[in-house]
Structure 1
Amino acid sequence: MRGLDLANPEDYKEGMSGFKENTLGNIAHYLQLQKEKGLYIKLILQIKNNIINIEVRNNVAVTKTELIRIHDKLARSRQYSNLEDALSQVLDDSEGAGLGLVILVLMLKKMGLDEDCFDITGSDKETIAKIIIPLEQARLENISILSSTIVDNVNSLPQFPENILLVQKLINDPNSEMTDIARQISMDPALTADLLKIVNSAQYMLAKKVDSISEAVKMVGIRGIKNLLYSYGTQKILGDETADKKSLWEHSYKTAFYAFNLIKNFRKDRNLLDDVYVGGILHDMGKIVFSNIHPELLNNIKNFCSEKNLPTSTFEDLSAGMNHAEIGALIAEKWNFPEGLVAAIRFHHDPTSAPADYKDLVETVYLANMFCELEAGNVTFDQFDPAVLANFSITSRKQIEGLLERFSMGFKKENQNQK
């Protein structure tokens, strides 16, 4: 506005000297100008791998001179032990005085952290300020203890029903024939209906409807039947009577559908198609388990917290969904689910921590879940893991929006066809 060149040291000094006075004196005017030019400030908050990540982004590139000034201020801020010391020595009221950075470092010190938890980086498009705060170790230990206690005490979640165990036994018997497996499945009308429903869904894209359970078993194959049993058995045990659980299952089915379509579009791996579908259905098991807790168990858990001197906030954290991925994985291990499915449940919010053998499975379930969360307005494009997007050759927000539109229409169409 004043014709100053940000890269020119003299212009930069002149602009900074009156920056606060000029902008704050007419803030509405400058906010309107920022809006017209498409300038933004984004705040991104995430908890990932037991670390709170805070990012503040703006779409103006930071200059090399400014970066040097910022890092110099951070280094100087170490000498202050309290705000009074800082105020007495940082007398310059210009924008570049660095008082905000000093206050930030003092706040981090108060939390037992240092300035290494804060960083500012720049690219040709954005300036990004990051604060990384590890969750309190004692709090993590309390959450872990209580999560294990919940799993150990969930007596309302028994092993799988006997009819499913019998089918699993036949599947694992090398002497079994496909006809034996089909016969055992056909003895359970609900399981038979579920299998036929899945085989005739858009997942298999058949030319004609399949009505024979024997034909369906051949069509799905051993791997597909195994996965069907995991999802079917879990739903039989956990149920969907309440509105909350119905909403969770709906989200899970949508995640499964999106995961299936991601593989169909980007990987074309038949085995992975089956695995990501069941991974999508069961990824939020931990939330569903928690919604299944009965009053008696609730009292037992609260008593346990009291006996172990665990703060009530620990249980509140779990109620709000914290650690649900770990709780779901522990339940899956209790039910002897395969390692890949356990990994999909445990790491669906943190794909970078997944075992290498199950990386594709976990990343697909993670991305499908993020698509669902984006559609629901719970996350933004900036919160997607860039490494996962790169592995799927997704490079832009527009590409995600196009895929999401197609997947959403397909999911709605499939639901209408099944009614």
Structure 2
Amino acid sequence: MRRILFVDDEEKLLQGLRRMLRPMRHEWDMTFVPDGREALAALDRQPFDVLVTDMRMPGLDGPGLLAEVRRQHPHIVRIVLSGHSSKNTTVRSVGLAHRYLSKPCDKETLEGAITRALELREEFRDESLVKLLTQVQSLPSLPRIYTEVLAELQSEDMSVKRIGEIISTDLAMAAKVLQLVNSAFFGLPRSISDPAQAVTLLGADTVKTLVLAVGVFSQFNKDDADGFDFQVLWEHSIRSAAIAKRIAMEECADRRAAEDAFTGALLHDVGKLILAQGFPKRYSAALDEATERSITHTHAERETFGSTHAEVGAYLLALWGLPDSIVAAVAYHHSPGAASETAFGTVTAVHVANSLEHHQHAGHDRGSFSQLDRDHLSHLGLLHRIEAWQERVAGQVAAAAPCTAGEGIGR
């Protein structure tokens, strides 16, 4: 039975949680404590799978508790369930929690977040992956600005102006998003100086994804990555995202599918960031080994870590609660045939975009396309589309090649 630890100094709220989640008592072993110190004591007595904590508490507050849990029990999924926090508390919490939920939180949302976190152990049950991730000092957290933008998008009276204001509360975030929006990737007819303008012209979903990507990449310190080039990875990711969105629109004519393809491609290599910073010397050695032996990076990763960057990245995005289609696109972007797609979808779009970007940006001749899974495309009846995809994106990749929109990504 999975163990869940709830922490809140408001007794009425704890009792409310106990009543609300009572139907889960046969599946979860739930413990409710009123403060951070008691939470740490409970963790010392027995292992827990998930921690759900408030932020503002007397004594050891939420950020303090999260920091201790991250240090002493890094395998535990950390979820914040809190109302409005002070700016100081919010700043201190950055990077400490995997997910943020706002009070009041309905049963479906809270139960869903916990259930999804627990399901990860089944979906990604490879012991090598679990062991690897428990060695990472801290998995990156879902960016605060992203969660606030998402909440605004889901509100009944959603406002483009408010989305712009949310992004503008983080000056560094706003600057990087605007720099990217004004780059060659989007080809807007005029310069954009306000996040709200970007939302109007590109759409809220696209800007939301840019906020997520910038927030994720910014959590990594390039000085700790033993020479790993964050800038090169960022540029590959944004080029792949632009390609994936364009191809998906042509093949599906579905805006939602295109946005999922854009998000999946933008984040498809996030697992590389985790490996590069969590295990800098081992990852650098793995990449050197791949070059020396002429094997793929994923092959070298599997030999070195027992898992690949695709699996690590998918685990992280699933932990954050991103849609299954995006998680699958990240997990299978090198092996789309292992996914369950029976027609062109997000997995295929991200796989093709990643392969095409590597192929064209490296200046290979037409037809080599070594990373493309032709068996998968043949199964979907899409082999004949390869040349058309190449033609569509050739100019786009070439125009965007010198982009510096990711400068400053990675601290």
Give the structure-2-normalised TM-score. 0.53
Aligned residue in 2 for 1:363: 348
Hey, what's the Cα distance between the residues in 2 that align with 1:162 and 1:250? 23
Distance 2:386 2:347 in 1: 21
Q: Determine what percentage of the aligned residue pairs are the same residue.
A: 24
| Other-structure match for 2:228 | 244
Per-residue Cα deviation, 1:33-53 (whole angstroms, up to 9, x for no partner):
xxxxxxxxxxxxxxxxxxxxx
- In structure 2, give the amino acid aligned to 1:182: G
Structure with greater helix share of residues = 1
- Which residue identity does 1:185 align to in structure 2? I
Q: Shift in Å at residue 387 of structure 1?
A: 4.3
Q: Which amino acid aligns with 2:384?
A: T
Matched, 1:162 2:120: no
Structure 1 unmatched ranges of 5 or more: 1-141, 299-313
TM-aligned CA distance change 1:248 to 1:146, over 3 Å = same
Structure 2 gaps, min length 5: 1-123, 284-298
Which residue pairs with 2:197 in the alignment?
215
Cα separation, 2, equivalents of 1:390 and 1:297 = 37
Q: Distance in 1 between matches of 2:212 and 2:405?
A: 24
Q: Out of 292, 301, 324, which is 1:339 matched to?
A: 324
Instruction: Check whether the contact 2:146–2:208 (CA below 8 A) recurs between aligned residues.
Output: no
**2 CA distance for matches of 1:172 and 1:205?**
28
SS of the equivalent of 2:219 reads helix
Matches within 5 A, 1:48-127: none
- CA-to-aligned-CA distance 1:189-228 (integer Å, 9 cap, x gap): 1221233234334454432222222222233333223322
Deviation by residue 1:242-293 (Cα, 9 ceiling, x = unmatched): 5424233332223223223323554443333332222112111222211111
**Alignment equivalent of 2:368, drawn from 367, 377, 380:** 380
> What letter matches 2:333 in structure 1?
H
Counterparts of 1:316 and 1:259, CA distance in 2: 25
- The C-alpha deviation readout for 1:311-368, integer Å capped at 9, x for no partner, is xxx9963547953211111111122222222111011112233344995111011011
TM-superposition CA deviations, 1:59-93 (whole Å, max 9, x none)? xxxxxxxxxxxxxxxxxxxxxxxxxxxxxxxxxxx
Q: Which amino acid aligns with 1:410?
A: A
Distance 2:143 2:273 in 1: 18
- In structure 2, C-alpha distance between the alignment counterparts of 1:188 and 1:158, rounded to whole Å: 18
Check whether the contact 1:245–1:288 (CA below 8 A) recurs between aligned residues: no
State yes or no: 1:261 paired with 2:246.
yes
What is the Cα-based RMSD across aligned positions, in Å? 4.0
Q: Does 1:274 align with 2:259?
A: yes
Would the aligned equivalents of 1:227 and 1:278 in 2 still touch at CA under 8 Å?
yes
Aligned partner of 2:210 among 209, 228, 234: 228
Q: How far, CA to CA, are the matches of 1:191 and 1:392 in structure 2?
A: 42
Distance 1:398 1:144, change over 3 A: same
Q: Give the total of aligned pairs.
A: 263
Measure, in 2, the Cα distance between the counterparts of 1:203 and 1:330: 28
User: CA 1:315/1:409 → structure 2, altered by over 3 Å: closer, same or farther?
Assistant: closer
Question: What is the DSSP-based 3-state SS (H/G/I as helix, E as strand, rest coil) of the residue aligned with 2:346?
Answer: helix
**Aligned equivalents of 1:339 and 1:345: distance in 2?**
10
